[in-house]
Amino acid sequence: MPTEQLATSHFALETVDVPEVADGEVLCRVLWMSIDAAQRAWLQAATYRSAVKVGDTMPGFALAQVVESRCAEFAAGDIVSGDLLWQDYVVAKPQDLTRIVPKRPLSNYLSALGITGLTAYFGLLDIGEAKPGETVVVSGAAGATGSLVGQIAKMRGCRVVGICSSPEKQEWLTSELGFDAAVSHRDDSFRNALREACPDGVDVYFDNVGGTTLDTVLGSMAYRGRVVCCGVVSQYDTTNPVRGARGVPGVLIVKSITMRGFLVMSDFADRYAEGLAALEGWLDDGSLKVREDILEGLETAPEGLIGVLNGTNIGKRMIHVADPS
């Protein structure tokens, strides 16, 4: 198990027989694999799922095509999504799969029309309660979730400031996606740049990264601001994530700030249809732009995940494994 930063040497690629499918199961050909920063956290310890152990095949969200079905719910040829494995062929149970009838490029069902889009939509609007005229700050702003959060906030009539790590990302956010400003968490002037970009303070902070970025933004919150705790990327790639909240209550009390976590798969599963309808409508009318950062081939998954942890991705990182037949 990795003790510090994840490396490709922590992974092994093995060739094995295609798994046997039993009654009540389906055999799926994996087409697209989602690369999620949280996969590194799954190697640390049990989270919202049990920990991945040495020797396990890496789990991950994926799109697949049913190649053999021994259940009534699915037929060969169906396109499905589910929590599968970093494998070409995976046996799954029907209750763990969702049928997709694609109306847009299949990859969109891992990005804007997948967990990523739903996380941005419900996190910003339900947990953050972003309102017109408010200032919204989002970290990981040029990443999968953050780039959608910022655009939805603009549609909501908010002033939007993105936090990312490079001039290229800053330029993309402001020129292409319409963010009002973008600042780099790697610049020495980060704290001041954020203050200048948010002269009235931060009403909603959509936090994808935690760590020192969260500390910095907390210092710029407005009265009755809301912090949306979506993820903690800065603390995933280590066996010693920083713990402790001793100084936080004081900051929250002074400005009546609310800090609230959420897990989209548990908290909003019953409202996915609502979120997907909105997201699909915005994609169709062009008001939401989706950027997909695609690597080719199952064997690129380890470097894909390591890259996300280091910010090499722009938009939603995913792996193209195969095309549907």
- Tell me which residues touch ligand NAP (CB under 6 A): 36-38, 115-116, 119, 139-140, 142-146, 164-165, 169, 185, 208-209, 211, 213, 230-234, 262-264, 308-309, 311, 313, 317
Tell the smallest beta-carbon distance from residue 43 to ligand NAP (Å): 13
Tell the smallest beta-carbon distance from residue 42 to ligand NAP (Å): 10
Looking at the Cβ atoms of 71 and 295, the one nearer to ligand NAP is: 295
Tell the smallest beta-carbon distance from residue 74 to ligand NAP (Å): 26
- The phi, psi pair for 264, rounded to 5°, reads -60, -35
Tell the smallest beta-carbon distance from residue 77 to ligand NAP (Å): 29
Tell the smallest beta-carbon distance from residue 188 to ligand NAP (Å): 15
24-35 per-residue burial string, b: 16 or more CB within 10 A, e: under 16: ebbbbbbbbbbb
Tell the smallest beta-carbon distance from residue 164 to ligand NAP (Å): 4
Going by C-alpha positions, the residue among 151, 167, 171, 159 that lies closest to residue 288 is 151
Listed in sequence order, the DSSP H helices in the chain are 38-42, 115-122, 144-155, 167-171, 190-197, 211-218, 248-254, 264-267, 272-285, 301-309
What is d(CA 235, CA 251) in angstroms, rounded to the nearest whole number?
A: 21
Tell the smallest beta-carbon distance from residue 246 to ligand NAP (Å): 21
Tell the smallest beta-carbon distance from residue 14 to ligand NAP (Å): 26
Q: CB of 143 within 8 A of CB of 120?
A: no
Amino acid at 304: G
Angstrom CA distances, 260 to 193, 237, 252, 298, stand at: 25, 23, 12, 36
Looking at the Cβ atoms of 31 and 183, the one nearer to ligand NAP is: 183
Angstrom CA distances, 40 to 5, 10, 116, 131, 299, stand at: 10, 11, 17, 33, 17
What is d(CA 35, CA 304) in angstroms, rounded to the nearest whole number?
A: 7
Looking at the Cβ atoms of 94 and 311, the one nearer to ligand NAP is: 311
Looking at the Cβ atoms of 134 and 237, the one nearer to ligand NAP is: 237
What is d(CA 319, CA 297) in angstroms, rounded to the nearest whole number?
A: 6
Looking at the Cβ atoms of 94 and 117, the one nearer to ligand NAP is: 117
What is d(CA 66, CA 78) in angstroms, rounded to the nearest whole number?
A: 5
Looking at the Cβ atoms of 66 and 197, the one nearer to ligand NAP is: 197
The DSSP result for 124-176, as a single string, is IIIIS---TT-EEEEESTTBHHHHHHHHHHHHTT-EEEEEES-HHHHHIIIII
Looking at the Cβ atoms of 94 and 143, the one nearer to ligand NAP is: 143
Looking at the Cβ atoms of 135 and 139, the one nearer to ligand NAP is: 139
